[in-house]
Amino acid sequence: MENIDKLTADLNAATEQVAALQLENAELKALIEKQETLQRENDELLAKVAALEALVPSAGNSAKIVAKAEPAKEPPTFTLGKKKYRFKAGGFNLGEGGVLATNAVKDQELLKRIVDDYPGLIEEI
């Protein structure tokens, strides 16, 4: 009878160990699936980065160089409506790149925009 009790206890212990191992196995399978998903996402992101890097050289080559103009020593003046203005500097940046005041005075739409949206660039004279 003692032998049966010992065998029953050993069987119960083995059953508990099997259950624990099955739980560990399930957890490991979940981790492996998660790692495989992350690896696929990483591969997709690497492909996107490579595609973007391929575009960078072509974007740099697509810019066209126009004739360079020297900034005026004295910022130019212009008339808009009945008011006369003078630029405070020979060049400025409106977010789309550098603009020389000597070029800006040739563009009436840009001058209107400067007067309305960027009055700090000019002074009324």
Render pLDDT for 62-108 as a digit per residue (tens, 0 to 9): 445 455 656 547 889 999 999 999 999 888 887 767 888 889 999 99
- Give residues with Cβ within 8 angstroms of 18, minimum separation 6: none
- In terms of pLDDT, which residue wins out, 92 or 55? 92
Average pLDDT on 41-67 reads 68
Residue range 4-34, pLDDT digits in tens: 988 898 889 989 999 889 989 889 898 889 9
pTM equals 0.42
Distance CA 96, CA 80 (A): 23
List the chain domain ranges. Answer: 1-64, 77-124
